[in-house]
Amino acid sequence: MKSATIPPLRVTPELRQDVESVLREGESLSGFLEESLRRQIEHRKFQQSFLERGLASRDSARASGEYASKDEVMDSLHSMLEAAQGKK
């Protein structure tokens, strides 16, 4: 597949200076921007998936009439946290 370009991005001189100040050795501005775009895309896909799972769970609970209480959810979350902390 042929590569494509992203439209030029106009920024303030201060923003450009901030970006350039955090570049790692050997890292280019275009490389930084590409990585930032990739991370933002991944984050938004994750958010969308999270929302879809939440809405599906809501619909399932409405259809079955079975809901978890706040205490059940909090107990489950605490158990998950304790298990994760124990794995460190």
pLDDT of amino acid 88:
60
| Residue 2 backbone phi and psi in degrees, to 5 | -75, 150
Can you give the pLDDT of all 88 residues of the chain as single tens digits? 888 999 999 999 999 999 999 999 999 999 999 999 999 999 999 999 999 999 999 999 999 999 999 999 999 999 999 999 987 6
Q: What is the pTM of this model?
A: 0.71
Taking the domains of the chain in order of start, what are their residue ranges?
27-86
Picking from 32, 29, 34, the residue whose alpha carbon sits closest to that of residue 5 is 34
pLDDT of amino acid 87:
75
